[in-house]
Amino acid sequence: MSIYTAVRLPEELRNRLVALAERTDRSRSYYIRKALEIHLDELEDIYLAEITLERVRRSEEPMYSLDEVERELGLDR
């Protein structure tokens, strides 16, 4: 099931999208969907890492040394 979502684009970006869609005989929606499929994972990683980093800086996130992690995973040397 698809859900409609409206997006505001700067004119230059919209023009590029329209031109690509026309030249390739595909819809603008196709390319917007493709861009999200390709890049959404990266954006999630970046922004969620930034949130976690802020929690670490405020001491709200547990921290473990490499030795502790190795011991917990049974990787003692």
Provide mean pLDDT across the span 32-46. Answer: 95
State yes or no: pLDDT of 30 exceeds 90. Answer: yes
- 6 located within any domain: no
- 54 located within any domain: yes
**What DSSP string describes 7-58?**
----HHHHHHHHHHHHHHT--HHHHHHHHHHHHHHHHHHHHHHHHHHHHHHT
pLDDT at 1: 86
- Look at the chain and report how many structural domains it folds into: 1
pLDDT at 64: 93
- 45 located within any domain: yes
State yes or no: pLDDT of 19 exceeds 90. Answer: yes
- 43 located within any domain: yes
| Whether pTM exceeds 0.85 | no
Identify the domain containing residue 20 by its residue range.
11-72
- 16 located within any domain: yes
Beta carbons of 49 and 56 less than 8 angstroms apart: no
Beta carbons of 61 and 55 less than 8 angstroms apart: yes
- 64 located within any domain: yes
Beta carbons of 21 and 27 less than 8 angstroms apart: yes
pLDDT at 39: 96
State yes or no: pLDDT of 76 exceeds 80. Answer: no
